[in-house]
Structure 1
Amino acid sequence: MHKSRLGVLVIDCRTDDLTQAAHFWSQALGYGLGKLDADGKYWALDVPADQIKVLLQKVEHEPRIHLDIETDDRAAEVERLKALGATPLGEVKRWHVLEAPSGHRFCVVNPQRPDLEEKGNSWG
């Protein structure tokens, strides 16, 4: 048995100025600015621990929003989602990229919040 749930709302930003995008989205959503990662590609907004994380990601493709599903067993979650009709597109660093039958891309990632064991959905 493994657990999973919606973990992160990722705002893909095609921009040269991720700081400007972070300022806009922090004010639009009412969250603090949080912090920029060392590579300058990811900016996490300061969201309360019991809420879904919001992450801005600097990208080269068209701007869009995608979801990250957090899980305690990435391989098992990918297999579960494939059985539902998702198409695996690849593995990047520590996450898997998939495409839903609807054409939407999403990722399967490691746990993002400490209460996954308690509040995640159980599968298997």
Structure 2
Amino acid sequence: MLAIVSIVIRVNDLPSQLEFWKAALDYIERDAPEDDWAVLKPRYADAPCIALDAHHSVRVLPPRIHLDVYAEDQDAEVRRLVELGAREVPWDGRPDDADYIILEDPEGNRFCIVDRPHWPGWQRIPAR
């Protein structure tokens, strides 16, 4: 049996990206960060960890893989993430009825905020 336990994101500025992703996802450090590696785990939910690898890599667009992050209130979450330093990514190919908004973190790593106000998984997450 296999399970996705951690998703690795390459970053240039580990301390800055660590603060962004902690605030964005309400994750906490699993262990003390190393100089070039940190793992964040969910504070409340049963979800994969996010590992940040301070290792330069060439940015490819469109990316071959990205995160889909579900939101109960998509508009509020997009505003909050933009205030944290994310940027909205315009895309001419996005359908008019798309349930996602494309963002990128402060270093350009892309992720989508997907509108899922009635997702059954929310029942597993304790109220804050």
Structure 1 and Structure 2 fold alike (TM over 0.5): no
The alignment's TM-score, normalised by the length of structure 1, stands at: 0.43
Larger relative CO (CA 8 A, sep 6+): 1 or 2? 1
The alignment's TM-score, normalised by the length of structure 2, stands at: 0.41
Q: Which has the higher strand share?
A: 1
